[in-house]
Amino acid sequence: MINLKDKKILVTGGSRGIGKEIVNFLLKAGAEVMFTYHSNYDKANETLKLFKKAGFKCFMSKSDVSDLESNQQLFKEVQEKLGGLDILINNAGITKDNLLLRMTLDQFDSVVKTNLRGVWMTCKVFLKMLLRSSNGKIINIASVSGIMGNAGQSNYSSAKAGVIGLTKSIAREYASKGLKVNAVAPGFTVTDMTERLNENQIQLALKSIPLGKMGSTEDIAGAVLFLASDLSNYITGQTIVVDGGMVMPI
């Protein structure tokens, strides 16, 4: 059984979906966790109350991951409430899908700003705190869209491909300091986003998945839990693809 007792972890975008399940897995493994949300206070507070009722040590903070001042304020809150940081998990992200000819500049810029700049910004702000940990780790949530591309997602695919490149760069820069940096690339996963798809879209996607089914938030959280644990201490600069076999990169 994985034990994360005394580990201090920050999860961005942890109030719902994949992020919420990641927080759940980490708390059950004994970690102390702070998660962020961007705008929906009621949903985030509902999540916080759920975890606190279960007896977990959990905190939340409103934050815009792409904004420097917001990250600096988050840094202060993490220091005050957790007393340091061992693991940073960059999960916060948005989608604004459209075909290239119809995609607006705002749709492109806003997705790249949150999904790529936001990861870069959070890594930069918390780097020194992570380097003070005896076993610091960064886990970035990418996507198979960043590996294979996806129609209607030129903004999202570009940002997630950037996250994979960013992960490798930071891993190389700070491996000598003992920092491990990896990514998890979810495939077709049951979330609020996929629930908006119609039956034809779902069936078409399932045909491209060798295991013949969509993934669950638990599948993604399990991969993150592994990377957060000591079982992954000799792994860095890697992207773990959790997609039922849809993408099989070399």
202: helix, strand or coil: helix
SS3 category, 91: coil
Which residues make beta-bridge pairs with 185?
Answer: 241
DSSP strand E in the chain: where?
8-11, 32-37, 58-62, 87-90, 137-141, 180-186, 239-242
CA dist., res. 170 & res. 61, Å (int) = 25
Do residues 159 and 203 touch, judged by C-beta distance below 8 A? no
Nearest to 17 by CA among 198, 175, 224, 160: 224
180-186 vs 32-37, strand pairing mode: unpaired
CA 126 to mean position of chain CA atoms:
15
- 215: β partners: 189
Active site residue 156: yes
Biggest CA pair distance of the chain: 50
Instruction: Report in angstroms the alpha-carbon separations of 76 from 13, 70, 87, 177, 193.
Output: 18, 10, 16, 23, 32
Strand 32-37, strand 137-141: pairing: unpaired
Q: Which of 37, 41, 156, 174 is the catalytic position?
A: 156
**Catalytic (active-site) positions:** 156
